[in-house]
Amino acid sequence: MRIRDLASTGALALAALLAASGCGIGGAGDDTPALQGEVTGEADGEITFQTWNLKADYDDYFTALIAAFEEEHPGAAVRWLDQPAEGYAEKLSVDAAAGELPDVVNVAPDLVHPLAEAGLVLDLDRARPGAAGAYLPDAWAGFTMPGGSGTYAYPWYLNTGPIFYNRALFERAGLDPDAPPATYDELFEQAVAMAEATDGEVAMLGQTPGIVDLGLYGSEPMNPEGTEFTFNDAAAVELVGHYKDMYDAGALVPEALTQDYTGSGEQFMSGAIAWAPGSAYDLANFRTNAPTLYENVGITGVLTNTGQAHMYLQGLAVSARTAEPATAAAFAEFVTDAANQEAFAREVQIFPSTAGSLDDPYFTEDDGTDESRVRVAAAEQLATATSYTPVRFSDQMQNILRNEIALAMLGDKTPQEALDAAVEESNALLGTD
């Protein structure tokens, strides 16, 4: 799936459905016991492989990939399924509850978490000991369960991105387009200056901070045990306070109180805001759909107080009740090996999760184009990036956080009160209160 900073919808519903159903999983049916221990044997069985909204654009790539695996493993057969982006989590819920989850399935960290808790996907640390060494450590860690042991999906493709800014809007506000903010303090200062210089007609930002923003600023979103959220700490309160100051100055558009990343991106493309996070694939979108913006777009690094950018992550999980565990594990490892991930990264502007792949000249050498500049910068960030989104942080919790921060922006609550309320409600959904 195209990676954005959006929580996967339905993760909480998936967890609830699995808990209620107690059903088995996988092509083998409900009577097949969950696998325990190491998976060995020949990869010569028939399996199903499900992706997330990839067939329309990458049919040729996956068809060739499957053919190569089947040629390398005589007797193996892979049936490819692809589900649309809309309703993917709900489809996963239904399949899991019915015992029909595909043998190898595309998941994000928040979607694999309830499957892992229900014992429906393989613990790869037990099933394939030693597999972790092939991947970036933080990518592998993205599919481990907080407060527990085990890793439940192979890291697949990654993304991160720079900050895009509108040079023309910076010039209009009297700001130097060659010196965009490099620190949070500079962002806060320039955002207010832009609003004041344009009498509120130009806003720097299009959304209030989400869980990733809090993490980048230095907040610890969740305790190490994974039992409660902690994003009401001093760093989070400080950041929300700065956003309140910017909101009061007109540096955030009014829609910032309700919209998500997608809405903010659309406003950036329309010229309503001057600053927006992005990813490597956005430049092509700007060129096609916002040519005026494309002519004026500036590119700068992600702001972070931790020294680590945020990593968006997709993976492949293996059913714990597949009838063909050796074939399923071998295929998941084949899809996510260095050669195939690097080839996929040349098909679409994403990045491989395999150790050493980001050292390839494709990811390190700038050929003078904006696309390569963004690609090289993003690859450099990914070498040390981490995920700031706890796997237990659901779409419902994101909405709670957004609503509470909106109350802080409006002055109905202090930043501390708003974050305390968001943490309390989110923890209640975990069942920890």
Residue % of the chain over a pLDDT of 90:
73
- Tell me the average pLDDT of the chain: 89
pLDDT confidence tier of residue 262, bands split at 50, 70 and 90: low
The answer to whether 280 and 371 are in contact (CB under 8 A) is yes
233 shares its domain with 329:
no
pLDDT value for 320: 94
pLDDT confidence tier of residue 368, bands split at 50, 70 and 90: confident
Greatest mean pLDDT among 2-6, 156-160, 179-183, 374-378 lies in 179-183
Residue 269: pLDDT above 90?
A: yes
pLDDT value for 148: 74
Element (H, E) at 316: strand 312-318
The answer to whether 82 and 54 are in contact (CB under 8 A) is yes
CA dist., res. 368 & res. 348, Å (int): 19
Give this prediction's pTM: 0.85
Residue 431: pLDDT above 60?
A: yes
CA dist., res. 405 & res. 421, Å (int): 10
pLDDT value for 278: 86
The answer to whether 209 and 238 are in contact (CB under 8 A) is no
* From 246-260, 295-309, 324-338, 411-425, the region with the lowest mean pLDDT: 246-260
81 shares its domain with 112:
yes
pLDDT value for 22: 40
pLDDT value for 258: 84
110 shares its domain with 169:
no
Does 260 reside within a domain? yes
For the chain, the domain total comes to 2
pLDDT confidence tier of residue 32, bands split at 50, 70 and 90: low
Q: Which residues contact 37 (CB under 8 A, 6 or more apart)?
A: 126, 127
| pLDDT tens for each residue of 277-314 | 988 778 888 999 999 999 999 999 999 999 999 999 99
* From 39-53, 268-282, 351-365, the region with the lowest mean pLDDT: 268-282
User: Could you list the residue range(s) of the whole structural domain that residue 254 is in?
Assistant: 163-308+389-430
CATH number at residue 116: 3.40.190.10
R_g (Cα) of the chain, nearest Å: 22
Among 366, 382, 398, where does a domain finish? 382
pLDDT confidence tier of residue 149, bands split at 50, 70 and 90: confident
Residue 196 burial (CB < 10 Å; 0-12/13-18/19+)?
A: middle
| Mean pLDDT value of segment 109-118 | 90
Residue 274: pLDDT above 70?
A: yes
331 shares its domain with 367:
yes
16 shares its domain with 92:
yes
pLDDT value for 31: 54
Does 3 reside within a domain? no
Does 1 reside within a domain? no
